[in-house]
Amino acid sequence: MEYILLFLGAAVVNNFVLTRFLGLCIFFGVSKNFNASVSMGMAVISVMTMSSMIAWVISNGILVPLQLTFLNTIVFVIVIATFVQLLEMFIKKFVPTLYGVWGIYLLLVATNCIVLAVPLINADKHYDFFTSTVNALGSSSGFALALILMSSLREKLQYAKVPKTLEGLGVSFVLAGLLALSFQGFGGMIPLE
């Protein structure tokens, strides 16, 4: 039960994009296209979950015993970037069809704030391994949800008449504001610890 609450809390109530403003570059960059959003969402879920596991092991196996936690940021960035690079090579070699769909998104994910944020939050809250993984899974699912919702909305937007000065990014922000407003309805149901 506790894990279900954590998952829902991270995915819906404290949605990464709409209430915590992380990963906005990808959110606005990729959401122009529905299919791209679905692939990106999948890429984020897998990379985030795996990299948060690896980051947990490194953080609690090396940094905490040696009292080097002030190096968290540097170490996590390097670990995640390296991991994504390896994952990309692996997929390219063994699952080329998947690479065709995912390839470019993987590298975009590597230097994105959401992927770095989750290990940092986990380390900050001293979550155990399983809790960290659930948190990463929930946060990334929430990101994928917001991304897919937004891209569906933006596809409809193509038929709308938008004032010239707001075309493109401007109106997307207004749209995101309205989406955030609806997510605000979940606010406080499961508090952010």
Q: In the chain, what are the helix, strand and coil shares in percent, each to the nearest 5?
A: 80, 0, 20
User: Which residue in 123, 122, 115 sits closest to 46, CA to CA?
Assistant: 115
DSSP codes joined into one string, 75-110 = HHHHHHHHHHHHHHHHHHHH-HHHHHHHHHHHHHHH
Contact 62, 69 (CB under 8 A): no
Query: 78-97 mask for another protein (x: CB under 8 A)?
Result: x--x----------------
132 counts as binding another protein under rule CB under 8 A? no
Q: Considering only 96-104, 109-117, 132-140, 147-155, which stretch makes contact with another protein by CB under 8 A?
A: 109-117
User: Which residue in 140, 150, 117 sits closest to 42, CA to CA?
Assistant: 140
Distances (CA, A) of 179 to 150, 175, 183, 191: 8, 6, 6, 20
In whole angstroms, what is the distance from residue 157 CA to residue 174 CA?
Answer: 12
Q: Which of 38, 50, 77, 101 binds another protein (CB under 8 A)?
A: 77
Distances (CA, A) of 30 to 1, 142, 175: 34, 16, 15
65 counts as binding another protein under rule CB under 8 A? no
Q: Considering only 73-81, 95-103, 129-137, 142-150, which stretch makes contact with another protein by CB under 8 A?
A: 73-81
Q: Considering only 4-12, 92-100, 134-142, 160-168, which stretch makes contact with another protein by CB under 8 A?
A: 160-168
Query: What's the min distance (Å) between Cβ of 1 and another protein?
Result: 27
157 counts as binding another protein under rule CB under 8 A? no
Q: Which of 45, 87, 91, 117 binds another protein (CB under 8 A)?
A: 117
129 counts as binding another protein under rule CB under 8 A? no
69 counts as binding another protein under rule CB under 8 A? no
Q: Which of 7, 28, 83, 143 binds another protein (CB under 8 A)?
A: 28
Q: Which of 177, 188, 189, 192 binds another protein (CB under 8 A)?
A: 177
